[in-house]
Amino acid sequence: MTVYADYSYYEREYLNGRAAVITPETFPFYARKASVSINAYTYGAFREADEPPEPIKNCCCDLAELFYKSETSPTAQGVISEKVGDISVTYENAESTRQALPRDVKSIINSWLAADGLLTGGGGQLC
């Protein structure tokens, strides 16, 4: 199974000076999971690549962080709506986070791959 980014790439290139979200020990698991998603949306077009393009590697890192956060974050993720008069606050819960994951995966894949024509045979965005 091709994994599109390793921890070294994640730390040096993707993070670009930012703090790491994923530890070196857990990164391979989440990068593999991210690579499976990339393969699904690109029909495996980069599986045999000697050196995947930068957007593929960055997408892998971004998805790995998303999967890591979705599995390790506490159930209350944050405020998703707020009302000022008579103060009403709604928090995101584990179920809404789980339901949002496929949408977030598509969004990340679109943001890294659509502009470079790396999606679905050379262009376009995912629905």
pLDDT digits (tens, 9 = 90+) for 28-40: 999 999 999 999 9
The answer, yes or no, to whether residue 25 has pLDDT greater than 60, is yes
Contacts of 5 (CB under 8 A, 6+ apart): 14, 31, 34, 57, 58, 60, 61, 64
The answer, yes or no, to whether residue 83 has pLDDT greater than 70, is no
The answer, yes or no, to whether residue 120 has pLDDT greater than 50, is yes
With tokens 């091709």, the residue in question is 2
> So what's the pLDDT on residue 127?
43
- Most confidently predicted of 35-39, 89-93, 121-125: 35-39
Label residue 122 by pLDDT band (50, 70, 90). very low
Residue with more model confidence, 78 or 31: 31
User: What residues are paired with 90 via a beta bridge?
Assistant: 81
The model's pTM: 0.79
> So what's the pLDDT on residue 13?
97
The span from the CA of 95 to the CA of 69, in Å, is: 14
